[in-house]
Structure 1
Amino acid sequence: MSLLPKLPVPELPTGPWALFLDIDGTLLEHAAHPDAVVVGDELRTLLARLELQLDGALAFITGRSIAAVDHLFQPLRLRAAGLYGLEHRLTRDGPVEAAGEPADIAALAEEIEAELGSSDVYIERKGPILAVHTRAAPQLLQRATQLVEQALGRLPTGYRVLAGNAGVELMPLDAAKGAAIRRFLDLPAFEGRRPVFLGDDTSDENGFEAVNEIDGMSIRIKPHGPTAARHVLADVGEALAWLGAVCKRNLDGSTGLVDPSHRRSP
């Protein structure tokens, strides 16, 4: 069993701050198939309350598409960066800047599906990102990674391979959670706030680094090794409990958030 790095549990943030949230492994336990996760009403209520308390300065930063996020959390349609920042919804209930699937990525997906698709491996096609999930077949992670790495030589420049806890992804170089967080921080609802980012996987490390550079709070959930995060929470349950404590503190009135009388429009 992996031991958690010797990092402190985060204190509750004070002063004007903004909240950025990964989803899988952070707010929801991982499942063998991404569609198998379930969002309960308690989590929806918690997120809606936090978003209101933060005057809208809350956004999902996720590898899922925004369409998939909306399906999970309906009827909530919060601000979000999907596909690691290749898709954005910059306002509540606003339009989505979407990303399509290039032909070469579609062809690669079909090749990998032909070899691994019947072996409890799930090939997820997310526009310009190809994700191979091996949580239900961990013995095939090495082969899946090999197939994706070999494909780099046949693709146009500008792609990278990102290995995760239970799968591997091929994505454009400009798909980066840190860049997505910086884009939100330039918006009026987020401007001047200290960023707080919760994530659980290697794909979140870029976001932790970006948040650290601007004196934010980086929090990794259940790390399996070295991390750029400066704080740690043991698991999804502890992450939800921490967010719940933040929400309760705000409801109790001990908060440095923006005065509700000065709320901006979405």
Structure 2
Amino acid sequence: MNIQADLTPPLPEGRWALFLDIDGTLLEHAAHPDAVLVSEELRVLLQTIERRLDGALAFITGRSIAAVDHLFAPLKLRIAGLYGLEHRLVPDGPIEAADEPADMAALADEIELELASQAVYVERKGPVLAIHTRAAPQLLARATELVEAALERLPKGYRVIAGNAGVELMPLEAAKGAAIRRFMQLDPFTGRRPVFLGDDTSDENGFETVNAAGGISIRVKPQGETAARFAIEDVASAIAWLEANFVEPAAQASSRNLVA
């Protein structure tokens, strides 16, 4: 882990591209993914930042694009959903969607049968299966055991990602870093330096990609090792940092929320 205490200056003069995880970064986690709320202030902030960056802002999230659009309605941004298995490359453009394979659907049925009645939420996201144990942390080990055992009977090309309060099973090509690289090849992102804020294990690949591109990687409330070069202590501080660096005039913001 190579986390620095601050950014001086907060963000140098230059052309930036901003990539944002959602849960745990812009929104506090909830026991159920549908229980989170988006404030009007956050919608306005994101809209303002997008305008300031001439459109070079995108969500990079494990949620589906449909779920994000519902959550942030009426705001629509560029987005990579399901860790890059879905894309909307322009705010009003078509969605490149991903379907649920039959073997993943059968596995979800089995896990729901065992765990869904015990405060565990089994979330079906097309080719991605997420098991949320925030409301029943004692079942995280069992949930992880189930998805790891499933790797033996699923087609090759899947992996298990452990999170802060759950576990996910997804195709190998589901990678936030790849999604960021795709956006960086397109206008209005091309020629800019990337900034990526995330909070979880699934964001590490994105941090590595941004570091390699000479950008700025920031992990919110880091736990253990991380590839992120900087840290922010919580969601409220992350939003304050975004507002300070991308909205306030001349970006003369303090970086006091960045911690070692």
TM-score interval, smaller chain:
over 0.9
In structure 2, the residue matched to 1:208 is 207
Query: How many pairs align?
Result: 250
Whole-Å separation in 1 of the counterparts to 2:204 and 2:58: 17
Whole-Å separation in 1 of the counterparts to 2:214 and 2:53: 19
The one-letter code of the counterpart of 1:131 is A
In structure 2, the residue matched to 1:247 is 246
Deviation at 1:9, TM superposition (A): 3.4
The one-letter code of the counterpart of 1:20 is F
Residues 137-156 of structure 1 mapped to structure 2, 5 A cutoff = 137-156=136-155
Whole-Å separation in 2 of the counterparts to 1:195 and 1:247: 13
Deviation at 1:247, TM superposition (A): 3.1
In structure 1, the residue matched to 2:255 is none
In structure 2, the residue matched to 1:262 is none
Deviation at 1:62, TM superposition (A): 0.1
Asked whether the equivalents of residues 26 and 221 of structure 1 are also in contact (C-alpha less than 8 Å), the reply is yes
Q: Secondary structure at the match of 2:107?
A: helix
Deviation at 1:244, TM superposition (A): 1.1
Deviation at 1:254, TM superposition (A): 5.4
Deviation at 1:253, TM superposition (A): 4.3
The two structures have a TM-score, normalised by structure 1, of 0.92
Asked whether the equivalents of residues 61 and 85 of structure 1 are also in contact (C-alpha less than 8 Å), the reply is yes
Whole-Å separation in 2 of the counterparts to 1:21 and 1:13: 19
Q: What are the superposed Cα offsets for residues 154-212 of structure 1, whole Å, 9 maximum, x if unpaired?
A: 00000000000000000000000000000000001100000000000000000000000
Note the aligned Cα RMSD (angstroms): 1.4
Deviation at 1:246, TM superposition (A): 1.6
Identity over aligned pairs, percent = 72
Residue 8 of structure 1, aligned match among 5, 18, 23: 5
Whole-Å separation in 2 of the counterparts to 1:199 and 1:13: 21
Whole-Å separation in 2 of the counterparts to 1:140 and 1:254: 45
In structure 2, the residue matched to 1:260 is none
Asked whether the equivalents of residues 46 and 247 of structure 1 are also in contact (C-alpha less than 8 Å), the reply is no
Asked whether the equivalents of residues 158 and 173 of structure 1 are also in contact (C-alpha less than 8 Å), the reply is yes
Whole-Å separation in 1 of the counterparts to 2:14 and 2:2: 28
- Does residue 72 (structure 1) correspond to residue 71 (structure 2)? The answer is yes
Runs in 1 of length 4+ with deviation above 4 angstroms? none
In structure 1, the residue matched to 2:116 is 117
Whole-Å separation in 2 of the counterparts to 1:156 and 1:122: 24
Q: Secondary structure at the match of 2:91?
A: coil
Q: Secondary structure at the match of 1:154?
A: coil
Q: What are the superposed Cα offsets for residues 25-54 of structure 1, whole Å, 9 maximum, x if unpaired?
A: 000000000000000000000000000000
The one-letter code of the counterpart of 2:198 is G
